[in-house]
Amino acid sequence: MNKLICERIEDSIRLKQSLLEDRGLLKTVENLAVEIAKCLKNGGKLVLCGNGGSASDALHFAGEIVGRFQKERSPWPAVVLNADVATMTAIANDYGYDEVFSRQARGHVNLGDVFVGISTSGNSENVLRAVMAAEEMGAVTAALLGRDGGKIGKLVKFPVIVHSDVTARVQECHIMLIHILCELVEDALTKNE
Rg over alpha carbons for the chain, rounded to the nearest Å, is 16
The number of beta carbons lying within 10 Å of the beta carbon of residue 104 is 23
Q: What's the distance, CA 115 to chain centroid?
A: 8
DSSP string, 131-142: HHHHHHTT-EEE
pLDDT of residue 193: 64
For residue 192, the model assigns a pLDDT of 72
The pLDDT value recorded for residue 191 is 86
Task: Read off the pLDDT of residues 16-75 as tens digits, 9 standing for 90 and up.
Answer: 999 999 999 999 999 999 999 999 999 999 999 999 999 999 999 999 999 999 999 999
CA distance 73 to 62: 15
Give me the half-sphere count of Cα atoms (radius 13 Å) on the Cβ side of residue 88.
16
- Residue 120 CA to residue 88 CA, distance in Å, equals 20
Please check whether residue 93 is in contact with residue 81, taking contact to mean a CB–CB distance below 8 angstroms: no
Question: Over the stretch 113-162, which tens digit does the pLDDT of each residue have?
Answer: 999 999 999 999 999 999 999 999 999 999 999 999 999 999 999 999 99
How many CB atoms neighbour CB 5 within 10 A? 9
In the chain the domains, ranked by start, together with CATH numbers, are 8-190 (3.40.50.10490)
Residues 6 or more apart in contact with residue 93 via CB below 8 angstroms: none
